[in-house]
Amino acid sequence: MSVQIWTYIIVGITFALYIGIAIWSRAGSTKEFYVAGGGVSPLANGMATAADWMSAASFISMAGLISFMGYDGSVYLMGWTGGYVLLALLLAPYLRKFGKFTVPDFIGERYYSKTARIVAVLCALIVSFTYVAGQMRGVGVVFSRFLQVDINTGVIIGMIIVLFYAVLGGMKGITYTQVAQYCVLIFAFMVPAIFISIQMTGNPIPQLGMGSTLNDGSGTYLLDKLNGLSTELGFAEYTDGSKSLIDVFAITLALMVGTAGLPHVIVRFFTVKKVKDARKSAGLALLFIAILYTTAPAVAVFARTNLINTVSEKKYADMPAWFTNWEETGLLKYEDKNQDGVIQYVADKSKNELTVDRDIMVLANPEIANLPNWVIALVAAGGLAAALSTAAGLLLVISAAVSHDLIKNVFKPDITEKQELLAARLSAVAAVVVAGYFGINPPDFVAAVVALAFGLAAASFFPAIVLGIFYKKMNKEGAIAGMVVGIVLMIFYILKFKFGVFDGGKEAVAGLKSSWWFGISPEGFGTIAMIVNFAVALVVNSFTQEPPQDVQEIVENIRIPSGVGEAVHH
């Protein structure tokens, strides 16, 4: 059977499964809509968290990024994995004990202020929309290739599907859908990786295959071969880094603390019954996430080696079918500059004739390696599962921020539960439309857009959450000032150095690299904005009134593990 038919079958089965689950577990109350009724098991929550966490950026874009950046791409691995550990150990149990559904809810209550809540809602919307734009772009990339439509039509199809099960099922539907999506995406990521690892090195474990010798009898190590191929074409050695140490550090830290402030991941810890379950599901999620994250560098190496071997110095007329299929999507472009019909794939831009979008590497990888058609279709289903699971989680954050934090807690406290549920569903519809627009007009490739969302979360939420939990004398004035300054500074930096808004548009961006502040890229600037946020918050706090006594007592109570009192009395 052709790839097309296999794709229709496998994607059709997985979508029927997701929609079936959404109908079976549809939300009847706001508690079910926001936190799945609070009765999810740690194992199911661990899988759902992993699916929520591993977005299109993890599945589609991260290995693609590493395959082009080589060693420099490891910042994404370190930042995103480290951030998850930070979130699970440092923040999740305390937020769970505080008992609030959303980050703006926590900030509004902890800082006893409607203004703080409104600022937090605005930050949550900015972060979530930036993030969801990357997911929609990922959905568009997958659909455009496998349904043979253009990217914009792909994005619109994705919007309709996400809307259906996010609006109907709420968090309850999304949680159980995400369990299914985790199973699909991890299977889809691992099967081709194992296949190609055996094909290239004879080792069935991709993580070990990456460091093994090739099974062509030459005794050459795979990474040495790739380094040789890269330098022949004028690229840097694959295993060498070109980023400055400070930028690597800044990006890693921004991704780490950005994770800890990500509203759609934090809300997952409210869907279990007890604080103990929150810790358990965090540990299980880390295990589930590690399976994909430790395999991604291997997939990047396999894809890069196969790509160079297939296209470099080969005749365009002899290219396999996958090449023309991806050309049709516009994500792979060949321009015959010297009219000799041979593809020149080199680092020198004036001579290079091939442009490859980083986002296609994982999806095209099984095709390049000539794997069976069903494996190629499986990867398409996995990419969609990754993008849709995260998009759904983010839409829920957006709808909860509008209906629960703005309408119910600020503008209309006497709203009925039925009206609140309707408001949540309508705001999810509006959010999908906006997200679709950003998916059609994306600022960059998937992982870069997502990295900016993490920077925004680091710049706005992280200091307010950490000070809110660990410093009882932190007051509302300090927290509000810190969040506003942090997010405004981050947005300014992104507009200036990512879009060239103040310096002559996108064309000028490459030339602005030399004037980055402290040599830090926009993806890493969240670290600086976060430090400024902390500084502003603490300075303003020292000149203004202490928080009320009852708030200070609440903060002290959050940090005492439940059950301590009973232990003392016995």
CATH number at residue 540: 1.20.1730.10
Contact present, 526 and 254 (Cβ < 8 Å): yes
Q: What's the pLDDT score for residue 489?
A: 95
Q: How far apart are CA 527 and CA 534, in angstroms?
A: 11
Domain contains 566: no
Q: Is 545 exposed, middle or buried (0-12, 13-18, 19+ CB in 10 A)?
A: exposed
Q: 245 in a domain, yes or no?
A: yes
- What is the 8-class DSSP label of residue 356? E
The pLDDT value given to residue 170: 64
Query: How many CB atoms within 10 Å of residue 392?
Result: 34
Q: How high does pLDDT run on average in the chain?
A: 83
Confirm whether 567 is domain-assigned. Answer: no
Task: Give the pLDDT of residue 31.
Answer: 65
* Alpha helices per DSSP H over 25-113: 30-35, 42-53, 56, 62-69, 74-86, 92-98, 103-110
CA–CA separation, 335 vs 160, rounded Å?
36
- Each residue's pLDDT tens digit, 282-329: 888 888 988 989 999 999 999 999 888 888 888 888 888 888 888 887
Which of these, 342, 279, 274, lies nearest to 313 by C-alpha position? 342
CB 551 within 8 A of CB 559: no
pLDDT of residue 528: 96
Q: Cβ–Cβ contacts within 10 Å for residue 194, how many?
A: 17
User: For residue 189, which of 56, 72, 65, 53 has the smallest C-alpha distance?
Assistant: 56
What pLDDT, on a 0 to 100 scale, did the predictor assign at position 530? 96
Two structure tokens written together for 472: 């009882």
Q: How far apart are CA 379 and CA 350, in angstroms?
A: 34
Looking from the CA of 277 toward its CB, the CA atoms found within 13 Å total 17
Which pLDDT does position 540 carry in this prediction?
A: 95
Q: Which helix (H) or strand (E) holds 396?
A: helix 373-400
Q: What is the per-residue pLDDT for 506?
A: 67
Question: Does the residue 348 lie in any domain?
Answer: yes
User: With contact defined as beta carbons under 8 Å apart, do 360 and 145 qualify?
Assistant: yes
Global pTM?
Answer: 0.83
For residue 26, what are the contacts with CB-CB under 8 A and spacing of at least 6?
Answer: 168, 169, 170, 172, 173
Q: Find the domain containing 311 and state its range.
A: 3-561
Residue from 359, 343, 253, 258 nearest 303 by CA: 359
Q: What is the pLDDT of residues 217-246, one digit of tens each?
A: 788 899 898 888 888 888 888 888 778 889
Give the DSSP letter of residue 445. -
* 21, two tokens: 């689950």
pLDDT of residue 252: 92
If one counts the domains in the chain, the total is: 1
d(CA 456, CA 466) in angstroms, rounded, equals: 16
Q: Are 368 and 83 in contact (CB under 8 A)?
A: no
Look at the chain and count its residues: 570
What is the chain's pLDDT, residue by residue, as a tens digit (570 residues)? 888 888 889 888 988 887 788 777 766 666 666 655 556 788 888 888 888 777 777 888 888 888 888 888 888 888 888 887 787 777 777 877 777 767 888 888 889 888 999 999 898 888 888 888 777 877 787 777 777 777 788 888 888 877 776 666 566 667 777 888 888 889 999 999 999 999 999 899 999 998 898 888 788 899 898 888 888 888 888 888 778 889 989 999 999 988 877 777 777 777 777 777 877 888 888 889 889 899 999 999 999 998 888 888 888 888 888 888 888 878 888 888 888 888 888 888 888 888 888 888 888 889 888 889 899 889 888 888 777 777 777 787 788 778 877 888 778 888 887 888 788 888 888 888 888 887 787 766 666 777 888 899 999 989 999 999 889 899 999 999 999 999 999 999 988 888 777 776 666 666 677 788 888 988 899 999 999 999 999 999 999 999 989 888 888 887 775 544 444 444
Residue 249 lies in a domain: yes
Torsion of CA 133, 138, 144, 146, to 10 degrees: -150
CA distances from 401 to 110, 210, 429 (A): 16, 44, 14
Tell whether 289 is covered by a domain.
yes
Strands 354-356 and 332-334: antiparallel
Is 399 domain-assigned? yes
Res 119: pLDDT? 92
Determine the pLDDT at residue 81. 81
Q: What is the C-alpha separation between 433 and 88, in angstroms, rounded?
A: 32
pLDDT (0 to 100) of residue 486: 95
Measure Cα distances from 11 to 142, 314, 317, 342 in Å: 11, 34, 32, 36
In a domain, 570, yes or no: no
Residue 570: predicted pLDDT: 43
pLDDT at 174: 73
pLDDT of residue 165: 65
What is the model's pLDDT at position 37? 54
